[in-house]
Structure 1
Amino acid sequence: MVDSSAVEFYEENGYLLVRGLLTRQEADAYRAECHAVLARMAGGDPTWGSARRLTPVRTELRHCHDAQFHSAAFGRLLLDPRFTDVAAALLGTPNVQLHHTKIFMKPPEKGSPFPLHQDAAHFPHREHTVAAAIFHFDDTPEEKGCVRVVPGSHRNGLLPHVEEGGWHLPLDEWPLGSAVPVEAEAGDALFIGYLTVHGSGVNTSPEARTTFLAQFRAPGDEPVRDVHRSRGQGMMLRGFDPVPGSAG
C-alpha cells in the first residue's frame, strides 16, 4: 500500500514509481513467463511508424495483448493485492476494473522506442480515471529504453495527436529527449495516468527489456468511443462493480 505522500505525488506529477512491489525472484519468474509466451506466438513487430523517425537504426519490438489468456501467471498478478491496493489508492475508489493488458519486450541492442504520447488518445474515457501499471521484470536503466515522462502534463487535458504512425504528439514540439527518464529495477512498478505524456527510448543494451502493462480504471468510467476492446475488459480486479453494465 502507498501512503498519502505517494498519492499526492501521483496527483501532482501524473505518475508514481513503486519500488519493490514484486521481489526480484518473482520478477525473474515473470520475465521467463513473458519470454515463453512470446516464443509460442507468431512473429510480428508493432513498432510505430513514427518511431522509425527517432533513430537511424532499424529497431524491433515484440508484444502480446491480453496476456492473462496466454498464461495463468498474469491472471494471478492482476489480482495480487500488492498491485490492486496501490491502484485503488491512486484511483480513490476501492473498486478497480481492468481495461487491458500487454507484454512488451524490447530486444537487445535494437529495441524500438515510443514517441511521446498520451494513452488517452487511443481510448478516451469520460471521467479520465484510466491509468496503467508497468511491471518491470528486469533492471531498466536509461540505456535499456526506460519509460520517460513529462511530469504534470496530465493537467493539460487531452492534447491533439498525430494519427499517422501511431497516435503520437508532434515530434518537433514534443521531442523524446525532453521527457524525464524513469529508471527502474526488477520488481518495480510504474503507475502512470493515461493523460500523462510519456514515451520510451531505444534499448541499446545487450539485454532485453521486459515489461507487463495492466491498464485499469474505476468502474462506471465509460469510454467516449467504442474502441480498443480487449478480452477480459471490465473484469473486476478489486472490490465489485457498483454500476450495472459498466463492465462492457
Structure 2
Amino acid sequence: MSRTAWERDGFVIARGVFSPEEIQAAAADADRVEREFKHLVSTQNRRCRWQDNVFTGECQFDAFDPIIDLSPACAALARDPRLLSLLNDLYGEPAFLFKDKLIFKHPGAKGYALHQDWIAWGDTFPRSFLSLLVPLDPADEENGCTIVYPGYHHNGSLTAEDGNYHELPADTVDESRAVPLTLALGDVAVFGGFTPHRSNANLADRPRRQLYFSYTKESDGGDLRERHYKDFQEWLVRKYEEYGKTGTYFE
C-alpha cells in the first residue's frame, strides 16, 4: 500500500493480501455463525444491525457487531500480521483493533447513505480511526460495494461534532470523483474515518458478505476496543430510548 496515496486520497486498496482459500475458510465460518447463532438475531439484541429490503420493504437482519467473539476465523483475520503490517505502514506506528463487524448484506438489502464513520464522542473516539474491508464474497457495484470519495478527508468532520451520527447531503461531494471499491477474494480496502462513503442496495441474487474491521493507532490510545464497546452499548441504549425502544439487551 502507498502511504502517499493514503494521505492524498484517504483510501487505498491492496490486492491479493489473502489467498482465495483463506477467505473461503472464513466465509465457511461466517456461514456457521449464521446457522448456529440464529437465536441471537433479534431486533432487541444490540449486537444486531438491520436494513430494509428494497424489494419487499421488510426489515431484514444485516450484520453482527461485534463478530470476533463468535467466529475464530474472523478473529484471526482481524489480527492477522499481514493486515497489521499494512496498517502499521499507513500509520507509521502500531495499529490496534477498535471495532469488528460482519455485514451479510443479503439480496435486496438497502445500502447506506453518504456519511463519515468518525463520530464525535468527546475524547473517546480516536481521530486516527480507520476501517478495513475484507470481502467474503466478491464485492461489485451490482451487489452494493462501498463507494468512497477521495480527498475530502482533508476537511475533517463534515457534520456537527455533537456525538450523533449524521448523513451527508449528496451535494457534499462531487459524484464524478466516486470510486467503487470493487474487491475480489483476497483483496482488502482501507479508508479513513473522515473519508465520505456510501453504498447502494444489493440488487444481485447473492449476498455481499464483508468483514468490516476498524483500527486506531498506538499514539491515539492504543488498545481501546473494550472501552469502545462499553461506550457504544451505552450510546445505543440512549439512542433506542429516544425512539421509544426499551428493554434491549446484548448477547
User: TM class, shorter-chain normalised?
Assistant: 0.7 to 0.9
Correspondence 1:66-215 to 2 at 5 A: 66-93=66-93, 95-108=94-107, 110-121=108-119, 128-160=127-159, 167-174=165-172, 179-215=178-214
Partner of 1:241: none
CA displacement 1:171-209 (0-9 Å, x = unmatched): 443489663212111111111111101111111011100
Partner of 1:46: 49
Amino acid at match of 1:11: E
Is the Cα contact below 8 Å between 1:87 and 1:96 reproduced in 2? yes
- Structure 1: 5+ residue stretches without partners: 234-248
User: What's the CA shift for 1:74?
Assistant: 2.0
Partner of 2:18: 22
Is the Cα contact below 8 Å between 2:49 and 2:65 reproduced in 1? no
Alpha carbons of structure 1 residues 191 and 35: separation in structure 2 relative to 1, 3 Å: same
SS class of match (2:97): strand
RMSD: 3.1
Is the Cα contact below 8 Å between 2:132 and 2:213 reproduced in 1? yes
Query: Bigger CA drift: 65-74 or 120-129?
Result: 120-129
CA displacement 1:147-182 (0-9 Å, x = unmatched): 00011110011111699xx82334443489663212
Segments ≥4 residues shifted beyond 4 Å: 122-127, 174-178
CA distance in 2, matches of 1:37, 1:128: 32
User: In proportion to residue count, which structure has more helix?
Assistant: 2
CA distance in 1, matches of 2:210, 2:174: 20
Alpha carbons of structure 1 residues 154 and 228: separation in structure 2 relative to 1, 3 Å: farther
Alpha carbons of structure 1 residues 56 and 119: separation in structure 2 relative to 1, 3 Å: same
User: What's the CA shift for 1:129?
Assistant: 1.3
Is the Cα contact below 8 Å between 1:96 and 1:216 reproduced in 2? yes
Q: Does 1:36 align with 2:45?
A: no
Is the Cα contact below 8 Å between 2:3 and 2:89 reproduced in 1? yes
CA distance in 2, matches of 1:122, 1:37: 32
CA distance in 1, matches of 2:173, 2:166: 11
Is the Cα contact below 8 Å between 1:123 and 1:228 reproduced in 2? no
Percent identical residues: 23
CA displacement 1:97-127 (0-9 Å, x = unmatched): 121100001112x022011111112657676
CA distance in 1, matches of 2:197, 2:149: 6
Amino acid at match of 2:22: E
Number of aligned residue pairs? 217
Give the TM-score normalised by structure 1. 0.76
SS class of match (2:209): strand
Alpha carbons of structure 1 residues 47 and 66: separation in structure 2 relative to 1, 3 Å: closer
- Structure 2: 5+ residue stretches without partners: 43-47, 233-251
Is the Cα contact below 8 Å between 1:47 and 1:112 reproduced in 2? no
Is the Cα contact below 8 Å between 1:161 and 1:170 reproduced in 2? no
